[in-house]
């Protein structure tokens, strides 16, 4: 069985090791998360919000401890780590407060007597996350995802397994169902079989271009939804397009039609001025 070692980047010291999950272990974890999701999807927004606010409290109460863990695993200064935890707590409070409004049924005009758009949870979502913001990259997905009624399994970067397990424990300590959010201590080679699991309905990834292509390609071949976000060399994207792409992403999160229209117009203007198509990552609540 493979061992995952965590090495302090400042000293080179190996200070903790973890056993990598087998494929069978990963399948079992996904199955348990799916079972927890089946009950979670029937809970109301008030119940979910109460637990999400408690997760924010757990984060704030343990900000120093989590910051020290980040410092040891990936070298983030303690001050920056505390700020990252505070940001995660703010995201938990934000979606606890606003998710029900974001996901409210929307009536629309059609030729039918009554038409509307309804948002329903998908199921278990696989998140593949990088090391640079080990807590924030996860919570920016997990807070809206869980509030939308989904379950989640996390494949974090190999150098921050302690952070990954700590995040799982945040949700447990906050009172969420035990297996609703699970960390999978697996290798990159094991991501494919997890995606192939019929209980995993979608995936989200933040990472490099090659990683994004691999995951999006695999998910596409399985007809599963993906929300990718990967780094693009800045020289390939005009500054105005990069900036307006950020606005567009924010507009989609806020579900503000006016802001979204403004962002689209800004992106289109930049495209026509430069003669290039903007590269935009649309961030939406996983549903």
Judge whether 158 lies within some domain.
yes
Predicted TM-score (pTM) of this structure: 0.80
Domain boundary among 204, 231, 258: 231
Domain boundary among 191, 214, 231: 231
Looking at the structure, tell me whether residues 139 and 281 fall in a common domain: no
Residue 106 Cα distances to 109, 122, 260, angstroms: 10, 18, 17
- What residue has token string 């903790």? 16
Chain CA centroid to CA 134, Å: 11
Chain CA centroid to CA 275, Å: 33
Q: One digit per residue, pLDDT tens: the chain, 287 residues?
A: 688 989 999 999 998 999 999 999 999 999 999 999 999 999 999 999 999 999 999 999 999 999 999 999 999 999 999 999 999 999 999 999 999 999 999 999 999 999 999 999 999 999 999 999 999 999 999 999 999 999 999 999 999 999 999 999 999 999 999 999 999 999 999 999 999 999 999 999 998 888 878 888 888 888 898 887 766 555 554 544 333 333 333 333 334 444 444 444 444 443 333 333 333 333 333 43
Looking at the structure, tell me whether residues 217 and 285 fall in a common domain: no
**pLDDT for position 252:** 36
**pLDDT for position 91:** 97
Looking at the structure, tell me whether residues 201 and 241 fall in a common domain: no
Looking at the structure, tell me whether residues 158 and 241 fall in a common domain: no
**pLDDT for position 263:** 44
Looking at the structure, tell me whether residues 158 and 286 fall in a common domain: no
Give the number of domains in the chain.
2
Domain boundary among 186, 208, 231: 231
Cβ neighbors of 38 (< 8 A, separation 6 or more) are none
Looking at the structure, tell me whether residues 132 and 224 fall in a common domain: yes
Report the candidate in 165, 177, 217, 178 with the shortest Cα–Cα distance to residue 195. 217
Looking at the structure, tell me whether residues 139 and 165 fall in a common domain: yes
Residue 28 sits in a domain of what CATH number? 3.40.605.10
Judge whether 79 lies within some domain.
no
Looking at the structure, tell me whether residues 187 and 243 fall in a common domain: no
Judge whether 179 lies within some domain.
yes
Judge whether 265 lies within some domain.
yes
Judge whether 159 lies within some domain.
yes
Looking at the structure, tell me whether residues 149 and 267 fall in a common domain: no
Integer Cα distance of 110 and 146 in angstroms: 32
Crossing angle (nearest 10°) for helices 161-173 and 63-74: 160
Judge whether 266 lies within some domain.
yes
Judge whether 88 lies within some domain.
no
Looking at the structure, tell me whether residues 38 and 170 fall in a common domain: yes
* Assigned token pair, 135: 């807590």
Looking at the structure, tell me whether residues 217 and 238 fall in a common domain: no
Show the domain range for 242.
234-287
Judge whether 199 lies within some domain.
yes
Looking at the structure, tell me whether residues 193 and 214 fall in a common domain: yes
């Amino acid at each position: 069985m493979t061992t995952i070692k965590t090495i302090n980047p400042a000293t080179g010291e190996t200070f903790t090791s973890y056993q990598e999950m087998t494929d069978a272990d990963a399948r079992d974890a996904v199955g348990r998360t799916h079972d927890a999701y089946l009950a979670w999807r029937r809970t109301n927004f008030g119940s979910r919000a109460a637990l999400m606010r408690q997760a924010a409290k757990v984060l704030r109460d343990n900000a120093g401890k989590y910051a020290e863990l980040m410092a040891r695993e990936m070298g983030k200064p303690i001050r920056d780590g505390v700020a990252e935890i505070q940001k995660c707590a703010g995201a938990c409070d934000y979606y606890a407060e606003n998710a029900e409004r974001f996901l409210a049924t929307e009536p629309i005009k059609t030729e039918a007597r009554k038409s509307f758009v309804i948002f329903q949870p998908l199921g278990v979502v696989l998140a593949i996350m990088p090391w640079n913001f080990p807590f924030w990259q996860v919570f920016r997905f997990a807070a809206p995802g869980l509030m939308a009624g989904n379950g989640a399994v996390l494949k974090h970067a190999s150098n921050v397994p302690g952070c990954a397990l700590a995040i799982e424990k945040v949700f447990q300590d906050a009172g969420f169902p035990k297996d609703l959010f699970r960390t999978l201590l697996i290798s990159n080679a094991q991501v494919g079989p997890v995606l192939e699991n019929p209980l995993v309905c979608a995936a989200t990834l933040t990472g490099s271009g090659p990683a994004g292509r691999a995951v999006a390609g695999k998910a596409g071949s399985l007809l599963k939804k993906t929300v990718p976000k990967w780094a693009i060399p800045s020289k390939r994207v005009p500054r105005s397009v990069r900036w307006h792409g950020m606005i567009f992403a924010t507009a989609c999160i806020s579900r503000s039609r006016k802001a979204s229209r403004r962002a689209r117009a800004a992106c289109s203007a930049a495209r026509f001025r430069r003669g290039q198509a903007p590269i935009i990552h649309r961030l939406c609540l996983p549903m």
